[in-house]
Structure 1
Amino acid sequence: MQLYNKLSAKERAELIDKAGEDRLTLSFYKYAKIGNPEIFRNHLFLAWDQLEVLGRIYVAHEGINAQLSVPAKKFNEFKAFIDDINFLENVRLNIAVEQDAKSFLKLKVKVRPKIVADGLNDTSFDVTNKGVHVDAETFNQLIEDPNTVLVDMRNHYESEIGHFKNAITPDVDTFRDSLDIIEEDLKDHKEDKKLVMYCTGGIRCEKASAYYKHKGFKNVFQLEGGIIEYTRQVNEKALENKFLGKNFVFDHRRSERISDDVISNCHQCGKACDTHVNCANEACHLLFIQCEECSKAMDTCCSTECQDINALPIETQRELRKGSHNSNKIFKKGRSEKLKYKA
Structure 2
Amino acid sequence: MQLYNTLSAKERAALLENAGEDRLTLSFYQYANIGNPELFRNHLFVAWDSLNVLGRIYVAHEGINAQLSVPAKQFAEFKDFLDGIYFLKDVRLNIAIEHDLKSFLKLKVKVRNKIVADGLNDATFDVRNKGVHVDAEAFNALIEDPDTVLVDMRNHYESEIGHFKGAVTPDVDTFRDSLDIIEEDLKDHKEDKKLVMYCTGGIRCEKASAYYKHKGFKNVFQLEGGIIEYARQVEHKGLENKFIGKNFVFDHRRGERISDDVISNCHQCGEPCDTHVNCANEACHLLFIQCESCASKMDTCCSIECQEIIKLPVEEQKKLRSGLHNSNKIFKKGRSEKLKFKR
TM-score range (shorter-chain normalised) is over 0.9
- Matched residue count: 343
> What is the DSSP-based 3-state SS (H/G/I as helix, E as strand, rest coil) of the residue aligned with 1:259?
coil
Question: Displacement of 1:326 after TM fit?
Answer: 3.4
Provide closer, same or farther for how the CA distance between residues 212 and 331 of structure 1 changes in structure 2, counting only shifts above 3 A. Answer: closer
Which residues of 2 match residues 112-191 of structure 1 at below 5 A? 112-191=112-191
> Is the alpha carbon distance of 1:95 and 1:331 closer, same or farther for their aligned partners in structure 2, counting shifts above 3 Å?
closer
Q: Which residue of 2 aligns with 1:29?
A: 29
Task: Identify the residue that residue 303 of structure 2 maps to in structure 1.
Answer: 303
Distance in structure 1 (CA, Å) of the matches to 2:62 and 2:334: 30
Q: Which residue of 2 aligns with 1:274?
A: 274
Amino acid at match of 1:122: D
**In structure 2, what is the Cα distance between the partners aligned to 1:6 and 1:110?**
16
> Alignment identity in percent?
84
Preserved CA contact (<8 Å) 1:262 1:273 = yes
Amino acid at match of 2:244: L
DSSP 3-state at the match of 1:64? strand
- On the 8 A contact 2:286/2:329 being kept in 1, the answer is no
Deviation at 1:330, TM superposition (A): 5.9
Q: Which residue of 1 aligns with 2:74?
A: 74
Residues 281 and 310, structure 1, Cα contact 8 Å, conserved in 2? yes
Equivalent AA in structure 2 for residue 66 of structure 1: A
Q: Alpha-carbon deviation of 1:35?
A: 0.3
Q: Distance in 2 between matches of 1:127 and 1:328?
A: 32
Instruction: Mark the runs of 5 or more structure 1 residues left unpaired by the alignment.
Output: none
- Give TM-score scaled by structure 1 length: 0.99
CA–CA distance in structure 1, aligned partners of residues 111 and 175 of structure 2:
20
C-alpha displacement of 1:327: 2.4
Q: Which residue of 2 aligns with 1:324?
A: 324
| Match in the other structure for 1:223 | 223
1:209-220 superposed matches below 5 A: 209-220=209-220
Pick closer, same or farther for the CA change 1:106–1:83 going to 2, 3 Å.
Answer: same
Query: Residue in 2 aligned with 1:205?
Result: 205
CA contact (8 A) 2:285 2:330 kept: no
Aligned-partner SS, 1:212 = helix
1:340 matched to 2:331? The reply is: no
SS at match of 1:24: strand
Question: Residue 65 of structure 2 corresponds to which residue in structure 1?
Answer: 65
Q: Distance in 1 between matches of 2:260 and 2:106?
A: 31
Deviations 1:173-201 (A, max 9, x none): 00000000000000000000000000000
Residues in 2 aligned to 1:73 and 1:41: alpha-carbon distance in whole angstroms: 24
1:69-126 deviation line (CA, Å, top 9, x unaligned): 0000000000000000000000000000100011000000000000000000000000
How far the C-alpha of 1:18 sits from its partner, in A, is: 1.1
Structure 2 match to 1:261: 261
Counterpart in 1 of 2:13? 13
C-alpha spacing 1:331/1:123, structure 2 compared with 1 (3 Å)? closer
In the alignment, is the contact (CA less than 8 A) between 1:197 and 1:221 conserved in 2?
yes
Query: 2:4 and 2:325 mapped to 1: Cα distance?
Result: 23
- Structure 1: 4+ residue segments shifted above 4 A: 328-331
**Is structure 2 residue 272 aligned with structure 1 residue 237?**
no
Structure 2 gaps, min length 5: none
Paired AA for residue 259 in structure 1: S
Q: CA deviation at 1:324?
A: 2.2
TM-score, with structure 2 as normaliser: 0.99
Distance 1:330 1:58 in 2: 21
- Verify the 8 A CA contact 1:284 1:331 in the aligned structure 2: no
Distance 2:333 2:312 in 1: 24
